[in-house]
Amino acid sequence: MAALIGWTRQVPQVWKEIECTGCYKVKEEYIRAKNDTIADYYLKLYEWYTRKSRDYVSIPEDAKYPIWFSLSEDFRLQKIQNTVILKVEIPEEEVLVIDMEKWDYRGNLMYVPKDQKDRENFEKELKKYGIADETALAESAKGNHYPLLKRKIIDSWERLFTMPPESLEKGFATTWELKKEWVKEAEHCES
């Protein structure tokens, strides 16, 4: 069975749960604690991502939010106080790998381009209509005035799942549970 190596930074409570139960699934309270005043935005984004991901990977029914992994040690989240860095070996059939640049476009409510030329053409289209802020089209009333552009943006988000990164280093991996047997190293960052 093939596996991917990844790194994730978690709060110590996650590691304790993994040690005690053998498995962890993301809790809404941790997303709220981490993201504070913008937590509702991330909860909505992660729920969308999970719903769409079910078409591409098997996800436990009771899992609502993804667990994120860097696929390169050079790009992993760095140590900060009161966290645990987990190095894991995830079976390939349990993981979804997406392009980090495409995720940034999606996370910012922007058009996900096929390539640079496609991006340039979309920007010309926005300019033609006098739209300076494409992020307002996807989820605000402004999108009601430009329904075809709004649809074009929303439809482009599917590319997150159909256009993998050029290399693993340019991607994120997600799973919806983290099993104890996947953990190869746990580095506690207490100070």
The rounded distance, in Å, linking the Cα atoms of 170 and 95 is: 15
Q: What is the pLDDT of residues 26-68, one digit of tens each?
A: 999 999 998 999 999 999 999 999 999 999 999 999 999 999 9
Domain limits, the chain? 3-189
Q: What angle do CA 127, 107, 160 make, to 5 degrees?
A: 90
For position 166, what pLDDT does the model report? 93
DSSP code, position 79 = P
CB 41 within 8 A of CB 117: no
Record the tokens describing residue 149, joined without a space: 């552009």
Q: What's the average pLDDT block by block, 10 residues per block, for the chain (191 residues)?
A: 90 94 95 93 97 96 96 79 93 96 96 97 95 90 90 97 93 96 92 63
Whole-prediction pTM value? Answer: 0.92
For position 155, what pLDDT does the model report? 97
Measure Cα distances from 75 to 9, 24, 31 in Å: 12, 23, 21
